[in-house]
Every structure is written in structure tokens, then in C-alpha cells.
Amino acid sequence: MTFRITVRPAERTFEVARDEPILAAAIRAGIGLPYGCKDGACGSCKSRLLEGRVIHGAHQQKALSLAEEEAGLILTCCATPQTDCVIEARMVPGAGEFPVLKMPCRVMGIERAAADVAVLRLQLPANQAFQYRAGQYVEFILRDGSRRSYSMANAPEQLGAPPAIELHVRHMPGGKFTDHVFGAMKEKDILRMEGPYGSFFLREDSDRPIVLLASGTGFAPIKAIIEHMRAKAIERPAALYWGARTRADLYRHEWALQAAQELPWLRYVPVLSEARPDDRWDGRSGFVHRAVMQDLPDLSGHQVYACGVPIMVESAKRDFVASCRLPEEEFYSDAFTSEADKHDA
Ligand SMILES: Cc1cc2nc3c(=O)[nH]c(=O)nc-3n(C[C@H](O)[C@H](O)[C@H](O)COP(=O)(O)OP(=O)(O)OC[C@H]3O[C@@H](n4cnc5c(N)ncnc54)[C@H](O)[C@@H]3O)c2cc1C
Ligand code: FES
């Protein structure tokens, strides 16, 4: 048995199997709905239910509060329809454009770029043309079936031959996947992955100046977006704000300095929250999104792309919209949610 979902205002329709979340069916049908974690933790897939009934699986209150649920909002990633439904959602042009592929990949390189950051190079099968948009992510499928998401740090134009993706992985002690990356993983290991996923990528139909906001390994998809802009000669003014605790945590600082030197449209502002005396840091300090607000108090004409720890992404959205007049729909983000966030109260 299937139900029919209609998305307004675009008037796109697709079928959802009984017991299947709306988002999973939309991705399969190549319908570009907005989303991030696919797991009820980030809120990116929030949409309005105009007609019909759904049942919500487990999700975080901060992704969808009871009041929002009562007001008719749903998370498409964990809502299964009980009837045909009509939902109101902004379509993301290009999000469903490339096929989602399941494939093996081979570990080509593991570089310790910082004490808790590994830069992985993973070779893809040459016979499966993996396509994605700069900013999107892949999921690793672990032995027990659980999945972990990582954003490509190289643009598709930089895949090389044989094709290889670059990922930036931060160690979360006690974490199922990253304990393995920082422990037993070695070159030539084979991993299973699936992708591309995500609606976090450059909206190329806009000419607004851009703020690229990253914390920690949130730098990965931002780097891919910069590489993509360079490859496509997109010259919209862009300001990269990269926040980290100490100087050593800016694990690709030289890359960013050089990019800003070579690209006249790119400005780079590194921001440290816990600079150490031996960092000899004379740059910006504090919360990275606050540095944006100091420099750009009026964001009404900008577009913001934010990526990294959930607290940074949430604070930036709230404060940019409330205090800097950023239109809410011009804020695009991927929050790096993990098991820890899913078990928060
Ligand atoms: C769209 C997206 C893109 C992402 N891209 C990146 C990226 O490019 N780079 C990157 O570094 N990360 C990224 N992440 C985060 C990444 O997917 C993982 O969540 C992260 O690496 C942790 O995985 P893990 O398996 O090591 O830890 P998990 O097993 O998920 O555990 C995370 C932490 O929570 C603790 N924990 C586990 N279970 C519980 C529990 N029940 N209660 C409380 N605490 C618990 C663990 O001890 C650990 O410290 C992304 C996430 C999303 C959603
Ligand atoms: S809450 Fe649905 S995609 Fe994150």
C-alpha cells in the first residue's frame, strides 16, 4: 500500500510506501526536499502539513517542538504518512539530481592534520561515476547497519583520476566510527558508503554576497564550495569565517590563507575561542558567529552557509536573523549532529 504526497507550491507528487518516512521516498524519487541529518536531530527538513495525517517517529524537541507539532509542522525525515498528504516545503533545485549510489571505497591515505582531525582520502570504484554537489555528504554503512555522515572536502571538479574523495573526520572519543578511524583503520581498508546526500550546497541562481561559516571540521564542505567556485569562475564576494579552539585546530589554515591570496573575491577570517599563549595569536578571538556579526551587522543582502557543531549552527541562525536582519530563507546549513545530540533531552 502506498500514499501519495503532494508538495506545494511546486505541485510535485510522489508515492510513499506504508511505514516509510516521507523524506526517504522523496530522495528515492529524486524530489529535492530540504534536509540535513535524516534522523530527527537538526530540523532542516521542517515542513508544514497542509492536508492528511502522519505519525512522527522519535525526534529531538529542538528539531521540532511540541508547539510546532501542534501548529501543523512536521519533520519529513521521521514522519510516516497515514493518508495521502499535502505538504508545504521549499524545493531545493538540484538536490535530487544525482543518483544515490551504494559502493565500496578504499582508504588511500590517513593524515593526522591535527590531534583530533584525520584527513582521509578514499578511492572510489572507477566503474561507478559518482557525482555530487560541493557541500554534500556520504554515509558510511557500518557492520551493524548503523550509518555515519561525512561531507566531501574536495569539489567534484577535484575528484582526480582515479576518482577519490577527501573527508575531514574529527575524533569523538567513545564514538563508534571515529574511534575506529583513530584506532585500527589503515590504508587499503575497504569501507562501504552511500551517497550523495544533503541539500547543503551553493545556490547558484543568486548573486548575493556570501558568508561561509565553519567550526572545526565544518570547514570540509566549505572548502569544497570554495574549490567549486574557483573551478566554475563564480566570483560572488565571499567571506570565510573559520572558528576553532586553538591555532593547531585550524588544520588547513595555510590552505585558506593561500586561497584568499589567490582569489580576489575571497576574504578569510580565522577566529580562535581558546587561543593558548604559545599560539602567539594576534587574530580574532571569541565565538566565530559573533565575529561575523561584528564585521557585518547588516546581513539583509547576504546569503549564509554555515556548517559544523550544532550549537554554532543554531546560534548563528538565531542571532543573524534576530539581530542582523538576515532573511531566514537565506541561511543554509548542515549541523554535524551525532549520537550525543540524539540522546540529549
Ligand atoms: C549531514 C552531516 C554531515 C557530517 N559531516 C561531518 C564531517 O564532515 N566531519 C566530521 O567530523 N563529522 C561530520 N558529521 C558528524 C558525523 O556524522 C558523526 O556523527 C561523528 O563523526 C561521530 O561519529 P561516531 O560514530 O564516532 O560517534 P557516535 O557513535 O555517533 O558518538 C558520538 C559521541 O556521542 C557519545 N554517545 C554515543 N552514544 C551515546 C548515547 N546513547 N548517549 C550519549 N552520548 C552518546 C559517544 O561517546 C561520542 O562521544 C556529520 C554529520 C551530519 C549529520
Ligand atoms: S531533522 Fe530531519 S533532516 Fe535533520
**Cell numbers representing residue 231 in the block:** 573551478
DSSP state letters, 332-343: EEEE---HHHHT
Task: State whether residue 114 is helix, strand or coil.
Answer: strand
Which residue's entry shows cell 569565517?
Answer: 241
- Say how far apart CA 97 and CA 199 lie, in whole Å: 11
pLDDT given for residue 342 in this prediction? 78
308 closest CA partner among 248, 244, 256, 252: 244
37 close to ligand 2 (CB < 6 Angstrom): yes
The DSSP secondary-structure symbol of 139 reads: E
pLDDT given for residue 344 in this prediction? 59
Residue with CA at minimum distance from ligand 1 atom 51: 336
63 close to ligand 2 (CB < 6 Angstrom): yes
DSSP state letters, 300-313: TT-EEEEEESHHHH
Q: Are 211 and 296 in contact (CB under 8 A)?
A: yes
CA 188 to chain centre: 27
The DSSP secondary-structure symbol of 152 reads: B
**Cell numbers representing residue 98 in the block:** 544525482
Distances in whole angstroms, Cα of residue 220 to Cα of each of 170, 215, 225, 241, 250: 11, 10, 9, 13, 12
Residue with CA at minimum distance from ligand 1 atom 36: 340
33 close to ligand 2 (CB < 6 Angstrom): no
Residue count (the chain): 345
For residue 64, the ligand 2 atom closest to its alpha carbon is: 1
- Protein residues with CB under 6 Å of any ligand 1 atom: 36-37, 137, 148-151, 168-170, 172-178, 198, 217, 220, 334, 336-340, 343
212 closest CA partner among 199, 196, 223, 227: 223
Q: What's the gap in Å between 116 CA and the centre of ligand 1?
A: 13
Residue with CA at minimum distance from ligand 2 atom 1: 40
Ligand 2 pocket mutation, candidates 35, 74, 314, 336, criterion most atoms within 8 A of CB: 35
> What is the pTM assigned to this prediction?
0.96
- Say how far apart CA 284 and CA 293 lie, in whole Å: 13
Q: Are 47 and 20 in contact (CB under 8 A)?
A: no
For the chain, how long is the longest CA-to-CA vector? Answer: 64
Task: State whether residue 123 is helix, strand or coil.
Answer: strand
Q: What's the gap in Å between 209 CA and the centre of ligand 2?
A: 27
Say which amino acid occupies 174. G
74 close to ligand 2 (CB < 6 Angstrom): no
**Cell numbers representing residue 36 in the block:** 540535513
For residue 77, the ligand 2 atom closest to its alpha carbon is: 2
CA 315 to chain centre: 16
Q: What is the pLDDT along the chain (345 residues), one digit of tens a residue?
A: 899 999 999 999 999 998 999 999 999 999 999 999 999 999 999 999 999 999 998 899 999 999 999 999 999 999 999 999 999 999 998 888 899 999 999 999 999 999 999 999 999 998 888 999 999 999 999 999 999 999 999 999 999 999 999 999 999 999 999 999 999 999 999 999 999 999 999 999 999 999 999 999 999 999 999 999 999 999 999 999 999 999 999 999 999 999 999 999 999 999 999 999 999 999 999 999 999 999 999 999 999 999 999 999 999 999 999 999 999 999 999 999 999 887 754
42 close to ligand 2 (CB < 6 Angstrom): yes
For residue 148, the ligand 1 atom closest to its alpha carbon is: 17
* Gap between the terminal Cα atoms of the chain: 35
Residue with CA at minimum distance from ligand 1 atom 52: 336
Ligand 1 pocket mutation, candidates 27, 132, 336, criterion most atoms within 8 A of CB: 336
Residue with CA at minimum distance from ligand 1 atom 22: 338
Q: What's the gap in Å between 44 CA and the centre of ligand 2?
A: 5
For residue 36, the ligand 1 atom closest to its alpha carbon is: 1
Task: State whether residue 107 is helix, strand or coil.
Answer: strand
Q: What's the gap in Å between 309 CA and the centre of ligand 2?
A: 15
